[in-house]
Amino acid sequence: MTKQEASERYQIPMHILSEYESWGLCGAVKVVMGAWQYDDTDLDRLSTIMTLHDLGFTTTEVETYMRLLLEQPDTELQRLRMLEKKRTAALDEIHFRERQLQRLDDLRHEIRKTRSKKGDGKK
């Protein structure tokens, strides 16, 4: 499947496909009539790359993760540390957003309480 076909069929942005090609992490060069050809292995790798991007990994982090995965044996602990770091950051963001929501709710409650008292005084 060509780069364009892979992009359209699997909703993979062209810049992600270009990054993947530039990293040289694929097997044998698969250029047919001047166009890059993706096979099932490439699509599996691209799925992992898309997941990492969706999780907030930078392009450099994605490349590092993929190089560890594909080029170096026994890198499970290093990759696990990378995932744990992102997980911790995501939890920190969730907790920060929860505190923001609580402050918003507190302010909303104060406004409603003030409006309620004003309404009671008019009756």
**Residue of 107, 6, 2, 13 lying closest to 53 (CA atoms):** 13
Average pLDDT rounded to a whole number, residues 97-123: 88
Q: What is the pTM of this model?
A: 0.72
Where does the pLDDT of residue 120 fall: very low under 50, low under 70, confident under 90, or very high at 90 and above?
A: low
CA torsion, ordered 30, 33, 37, 39, to nearest 10 deg: -70
Domain positions in the chain are 1-72, 77-123
Per-residue pLDDT tens digits for 17-62 = 888 888 876 655 466 666 778 888 888 888 899 899 999 999 899 9
CATH number of 1-72: 1.10.1660.10
